[in-house]
Structure 1
Amino acid sequence: MSLKKLFLRTFAVIAIGSGVLLAPAAQAQASKGQYVTVEPAQPSDTAGKIEVLEFFAYTCPHCSAIEPMVEAWAKTLPANVVLKPVPVAFNASMADLQKLYYSLESLNRLDLHGEVFKAIHGEHKRIYDAKAITDWVAAKGVDRKAFEDVFNSFGVKSKIMRADELAKAYNIEGTPSIAVGGKYVTSPTMTNSYEGTIAQAQKLVEMVNK
């Protein structure tokens, strides 16, 4: 089975208690090209910078696989380009994982970002709700009270609201997806490989940066 077919059939289904967490596969129409154009084009939230948005979900195995490639690529981007991960929630059950990312960001502990993927997909830990997430973070050496305060803060809630707005504006229906310069979106469903997605995103950066 090709990688493209695998993406189109995969829903990143993970059971949570008695419920099920679903990350919808990208629409088949996305496979017509290497990228799609965003209409209307979206403004950058970072003044004077070209934004590259990495839409991801911690529960998505494809996001886990591509993350090291995204991190390596980010180090090669020019100074006027900024990469911003955007955690996506396709339903309410995924909101706590959005809060996890922004809490780690607020506490300057994004060194644990990759560890979350490892815990879920490599160690099969069920860190999906607030209690399990907090216990896991505390076990990693983060102060429990400080984490809980940030996790439940207005600042984190505001960032989640913006993430949801961005996912809607860019019509994100599957992860991982990479948006460039407010104008283009590419993903493995379109490029047929993780490496192809990074290569296409690089081409889009160069297009926007001309």
Structure 2
Amino acid sequence: MSLKNLFLRAMAVITIGSGALFAPLSHAADASSLYVTLDQAQPSDTPDKIEVLEFFAYTCPHCNAIEPMVEKWVKTLPPNVVFHAVPVAFNASMADLQKLYYTLVAMNRLDLHAAVFKAIHEEHKPIYDQKAITDWIVSQGVDRAKFEAVFTSFGIQSKVTRANELAKSYQIEGTPSISVAGKYVTSPSMTQSYEGTIQEAQKLVEMATKK
């Protein structure tokens, strides 16, 4: 196998606990392309805005690596662009981490978003299920009862369901992936670098703006 193919496969690795899941490369049939265009454009949840979605998983080491770059890039996006992060689950064991993200959003505690990545990838804390997640979040100064009430709410489950629908509609098979304007998707498995993914996403935003 060539070094390029080895790299492309490595970019699709998603670490889960002590094991690893190899997610198929999104649209890998054209690995030389820096982005793909969906056959059918997806409607935006934010009318009159160019929507940028970052499909990520807390357990994905590549999401952990690219996250600071995404955070910096998002701050430079113009007013006509809206950004949403979308937590992805490739199996049922990842669902509670989807709930964690949306609970942080609902509780206005996205200041802990980066801390979740750090806990999993640097501190090697196995915060994958509700109990472990709740114990960890309490250690960050969040009230247990309030967190559990939001985490287990119908509203959070609805957001998770919507995230799963988006991942399916956008044909997301690996993380991180960034979609622009409901029809373009790029990822490190296509650009072969984290920086290249951000640069390509920026070009796609500019292309969508001109249309």
Using the size of structure 1 for normalisation, the TM-score is 0.94
Residue matched to 1:109: 109
Residue matched to 1:203: 203
Quote the offset at 1:5 in angstroms.
2.9
> Mapping of 1:48-127 within 5 angstroms?
48-127=48-127
Residue matched to 1:26: 25
For residues 77-125 of structure 1, the C-alpha deviation after alignment (integer angstroms, 9 at most, x for no partner) is 0001011000000010000000000000000000000100000001100
Distance, in Å, in 1 between the alignment partners of 2:118 and 2:82 is: 25
Using the size of structure 2 for normalisation, the TM-score is 0.93
Quote the offset at 1:7 in angstroms.
4.0
Relative to structure 1, the CA distance from residue 32 to residue 157 in structure 2 (aligned partners, 3 Å threshold; closer, same or farther) is: same
Quote the offset at 1:47 in angstroms.
2.0
Quote the offset at 1:147 in angstroms.
0.5
SS in 2 for 1:22: strand
Distance, in Å, in 1 between the alignment partners of 2:152 and 2:5 is: 38
Count matched residues.
207
CA contact (8 A) 1:186 1:200 kept: yes
Distance, in Å, in 1 between the alignment partners of 2:145 and 2:198 is: 38
Quote the offset at 1:4 in angstroms.
6.3
Residue matched to 1:128: 128
CA contact (8 A) 2:42 2:182 kept: yes
Quote the offset at 1:39 in angstroms.
1.7
| CA RMSD in angstroms, aligned pairs only | 1.6
SS in 1 for 2:185: strand
CA contact (8 A) 2:7 2:192 kept: no
Distance, in Å, in 1 between the alignment partners of 2:129 and 2:30 is: 32
Distance, in Å, in 2 between the alignment partners of 1:30 and 1:62 is: 21
Relative to structure 1, the CA distance from residue 101 to residue 45 in structure 2 (aligned partners, 3 Å threshold; closer, same or farther) is: same
What residue identity is the alignment partner of 1:129?
Answer: D
CA contact (8 A) 2:15 2:61 kept: no
Distance, in Å, in 1 between the alignment partners of 2:135 and 2:126 is: 11
Identity of aligned residues (%): 65
CA contact (8 A) 2:36 2:184 kept: yes
Unaligned runs of 5+ in 2: none
CA contact (8 A) 2:62 2:175 kept: yes
Unaligned runs of 5+ in 1: none
> Mapping of 1:167-182 within 5 angstroms?
167-182=167-182
Higher deviation after alignment, 39-48 or 98-107: 39-48
Relative to structure 1, the CA distance from residue 4 to residue 46 in structure 2 (aligned partners, 3 Å threshold; closer, same or farther) is: farther
SS in 2 for 1:72: helix
CA contact (8 A) 2:41 2:182 kept: yes
For residues 66-86 of structure 1, the C-alpha deviation after alignment (integer angstroms, 9 at most, x for no partner) is 000000000000001011000
